[in-house]
Amino acid sequence: MGYDEIITYLGDFGRYQRQIYFLLCLPAISCAFHKLAGVFLLARPNFRCILPFEDINNATYESFPKQQWHQTYPYDPLTGKWEMCVYYNFNYTDEFLNGLTANTTGTNIDTKECEQFVYERTWYQSSAVTEWNLVCSRSLLSATSDSLFMLGVLLGSIVFGQLSDKYGRKPIFFASLVMQEIFGVLAGIAPEYFTYTVSRMIVGATTSGVFLVAYVIAMEMVGQSYRLFAGVACQMFFSLGFMLTAGFAYFIRDWRWLQIALTLPGLLFMCYHSIIPESARWLLSKGRKTEAIVVIEKAAEINNINIPQIVYDNLMEETNSEIVRSNSGGNEERAPSIFDLLRYPNLRRKTLLIFFDWFVNSGTYYGLSWNTNNLGGNVLLNFVLSGAVEIPAYTFLLLSLNKWGRRSILCGCMLTAGICLLLTMVVPSHLNWLIIVLAMAGKLAITSSYGTIYLFSTEQFPTVVRNVGLGACSMVARVGGILAPYLNLLGQFWRPLPLLICGALALIGGLLSLMLPETLNKSLPETMEDGENFGRKPRHDDRYNSNERGEELSSMITEPNGKMISCT
């Protein structure tokens, strides 16, 4: 008898599980603060170069008349914008600026690079970009900072995931939380770019330790019938944090205070230490039966359930036998590897398709989430809408995933996102509201597909390498997130470009998803042989029948000594 049998007594989602689940969903809000804060911390408002004749201390973005920009800044007809990184190297006299005299430099094309800048203060009092002048030749630094944050998320998912498997979910959750608070505040008081970027990268790593570990604890105590709901509903808390970030940015216009304000709510979760239990599943897997039973008994008490003593006795006996078996045969088993998924033709094809879908979904999701400043109009409203559309996206998944199938939802949502984003190319520039509507429709669709790909991938990989496969998918997804800031940087040269690239990738990914087999109401593949045969279409010219092919595949995945590979 394992923990799944205990669940049949406790209930799949009893009162105790609901209470703990709700508390563990709240940290997703705090993690959303940190993941989306870069939109405001590294906001790049409109700016212009300070001209030689201006007083540096008193110059403002609005102080120089725009009707004189044609006399001072070059105009780029391709982008339809003034070149604010250089200025005409003229002799700027009052007579020249007033149009009474021509320039005296003898040339109309001589330009000089700007050294000082002033920024528009309509939406932001300050940001890291305005404080350290991360514009023009230094604009790559702002994208690099966001990219390194996502690199931290990638490293954190690896490091904290392994630590939580070794030392337990609860201690790693609180260790990550403490680190998040320390380095979150440090990022807010950082004296220069390097300290800020390193601190933010560590904060990115801790979001994996806080959110993912809390997610695992919550999912490990929920029964099978509620796992779809629990997994999707948890993402809605992240969307709530997404929208609340704009509320902080509305009231706090200074980037340093904003970073600190978004960090401090994490202190509230410190009180969880005496409330949140260690995962009973993990305790049983480590042979800590007495501690696991304490957790189970507390859950039974709150759920008003009486579990017979014989159930605990059987659980302890089975756990003991499993540990003995694991210790005696552990040296003979080979650890699962990503190469197991790439070794066989059909599995390799499916794995590469799934990897591409994860890359596109992550890159497009974060690309659209961080691109709200480039859409025009009210940047705060754009940001709130970008978070708000995620709620109906996840609700759609709850209502449709078990009815219409995983492949149809994934393909349909990615195609919808691609079409909506590509349509922005033909919208006239004066219809900016329509561009925003199409961008938000694309964000809604890609959010739904992102939520689908996790479940779809889980059901595609064989049990023996399922964790390895999902871990590899997560790494590929983080690569998409790492590249997303550089994608948005292209919006400085042509505003629709990030939307067009995301749209093209989503369209290609949606079409390629049709090559994956449907998994709804299908038995999950258990062995490597099952995984290779799952979704394979029989051919009329096969030389072997199905039994012969199965025997052939079995010989392919048999080690030289005749022992079948076990990747559990």
Examine the pLDDT at 542 and tell me if it is beyond 70.
no
Proportion of the chain above pLDDT 70, given as a percent: 86
3-state secondary structure of 110: coil
Same domain, 387 and 285: no
Specify the pLDDT at position 164.
83
Examine the pLDDT at 541 and tell me if it is beyond 60.
no
Specify the pLDDT at position 327.
53
The region of weakest confidence among 46-60, 308-322, 463-477 is: 308-322
Examine the pLDDT at 506 and tell me if it is beyond 90.
yes
In CATH, what number is assigned to the domain containing residue 482? 1.20.1250.20
> How many Å apart are CA 121 and CA 129, to the nearest integer?
13
C-alpha neighbours within 13 Å on the C-beta side of residue 116: 12
Mean pLDDT of 19-30: 92
Residue 125 placed within a domain: no
Examine the pLDDT at 233 and tell me if it is beyond 60.
yes
Q: How large is the angle between the packed helices 390-404 and 432-460, nearest 10 degrees?
A: 40
3-state secondary structure of 155: helix
Q: pLDDT (tens digit, 9 = 90+) per residue, 187-216?
A: 999 999 999 999 999 999 999 889 888 888
Specify the pLDDT at position 520.
82
Q: Output 224 or 406, whichever has higher pLDDT.
A: 406
Distances (CA, A) of 238 to 32, 104, 458: 5, 59, 21
The region of weakest confidence among 15-24, 297-306, 325-334, 464-473 is: 325-334
Specify the pLDDT at position 561.
38
Say if residues 128 and 255 touch (Cβ distance below 8 Å): yes
Q: pLDDT (tens digit, 9 = 90+) per residue, 114-130?
A: 888 999 888 888 999 99
Burial of 262 (0-12, 13-18, 19+ CB in 10 A): buried
> How many Å apart are CA 325 and CA 330, to the nearest integer?
8
Residue 493 placed within a domain: yes
Q: Which is it for the CA torsion 498, 502, 503, 505, positive or negative?
A: positive
DSSP letter assigned to residue 222: S
Query: How many CB atoms within 10 Å of residue 14?
Result: 20
Specify the pLDDT at position 320.
55
Specify the pLDDT at position 178.
95
Domain final residue, candidates 291, 320, 349: 320
H-type alpha helices, 461-558: 466-489, 497-512, 528-533, 546-556
Specify the pLDDT at position 321.
54
Proportion of the chain above pLDDT 90, given as a percent: 35
> How many Å apart are CA 18 and CA 222, to the nearest integer?
9
Examine the pLDDT at 458 and tell me if it is beyond 70.
yes
Q: Which of 309, 280, 283, 285 is nearest to 296 (CA)?
A: 280
Same domain, 359 and 489: yes
> How many Å apart are CA 313 and CA 197, to the nearest integer?
53
- pLDDT range class, residue 56, cuts 50, 70, 90: confident
Same domain, 143 and 255: yes
Same domain, 372 and 309: no
Residue 128 placed within a domain: no
Specify the pLDDT at position 544.
42
- pLDDT range class, residue 131, cuts 50, 70, 90: very high
Same domain, 498 and 378: yes
- pLDDT range class, residue 374, cuts 50, 70, 90: confident
C-alpha neighbours within 13 Å on the C-beta side of residue 157: 19
Length of the chain: 568
Q: pLDDT (tens digit, 9 = 90+) per residue, 161-174?
A: 788 888 888 999 99
> How many Å apart are CA 134 and CA 485, to the nearest integer?
14
Specify the pLDDT at position 336.
62
Number of domains in the chain: 3
Specify the pLDDT at position 568.
34
- Residue 40 CA to its chain's centroid (Å): 17
Residue 150 placed within a domain: yes
**CA 542, 545, 550 angle in degrees (round to 5)?**
105
Say if residues 497 and 425 touch (Cβ distance below 8 Å): no
Examine the pLDDT at 546 and tell me if it is beyond 50.
no
Specify the pLDDT at position 551.
43
3-state secondary structure of 86: strand
Burial of 155 (0-12, 13-18, 19+ CB in 10 A): middle
- What would the two tokens of residue 40 be? 């405001």
Examine the pLDDT at 296 and tell me if it is beyond 80.
yes
Same domain, 6 and 59: no
The region of weakest confidence among 102-106, 191-195, 269-273, 500-504 is: 102-106
Q: What separation, in Å, do the N-terminal and C-terminal C-alpha atoms of the chain show? A: 19
> How many Å apart are CA 337 and CA 391, to the nearest integer?
36
> How many Å apart are CA 529 and CA 564, to the nearest integer?
11
Average model confidence (pLDDT) for the chain?
Answer: 82
Cα-Cα-Cα-Cα torsion 134, 140, 146, 152, nearest 10 degrees, comes to -120
Residue 545 placed within a domain: no
Mean pLDDT of 491-515: 88
Q: DSSP of 150-191, one letter per residue? A: HHHHHHHHHHHHHHHHHH-HHHHHHHHHHHHHHHHHHHHT-S
Q: pLDDT (tens digit, 9 = 90+) per residue, 417-452?
A: 999 999 988 888 788 888 889 999 999 999 999 988
Q: Output 80 or 248, whichever has higher pLDDT.
A: 248
Sequence-ordered list of residues with C-beta below 8 angstroms from that of 543, at least 6 positions apart, any chain: none
Say if residues 219 and 231 touch (Cβ distance below 8 Å): yes
Specify the pLDDT at position 557.
39
Same domain, 277 and 140: yes
H-type alpha helices, 424-496: 432-460, 466-489
Examine the pLDDT at 354 and tell me if it is beyond 90.
yes
Same domain, 301 and 414: no
Phi first, then psi, for residue 54 (nearest 5°) are: -90, 150
> What's the whole-model pTM score?
0.82
- pLDDT range class, residue 79, cuts 50, 70, 90: low
Domain final residue, candidates 265, 289, 320: 320
Same domain, 439 and 527: yes
Phi first, then psi, for residue 564 (nearest 5°) are: -65, 140
DSSP letter assigned to residue 515: G
| Residue 510 lies in domain | 339-536
Same domain, 157 and 116: no
Same domain, 347 and 203: no
> How many Å apart are CA 74 and CA 423, to the nearest integer?
31
Mean pLDDT of 274-302: 86
Q: Output 253 or 287, whichever has higher pLDDT.
A: 253
Residue 190 placed within a domain: yes
> How many Å apart are CA 74 and CA 61, to the nearest integer?
17
Examine the pLDDT at 332 and tell me if it is beyond 70.
no
Residue 478 placed within a domain: yes
Residue 174 placed within a domain: yes
- pLDDT range class, residue 102, cuts 50, 70, 90: low
- Residue 55 — left, alpha, or beta (φ > 0 → left; ψ -120 to 50 → alpha)? beta
Same domain, 407 and 289: no
Q: How large is the angle between the packed helices 379-388 and 227-251, nearest 10 degrees?
A: 170
Specify the pLDDT at position 60.
86
Sequence-ordered list of residues with C-beta below 8 angstroms from that of 285, at least 6 positions apart, any chain: none
- Buried/exposed code over 510-523 (b: 16+ C-beta within 10 A; e: otherwise): bebbeebeebeeee
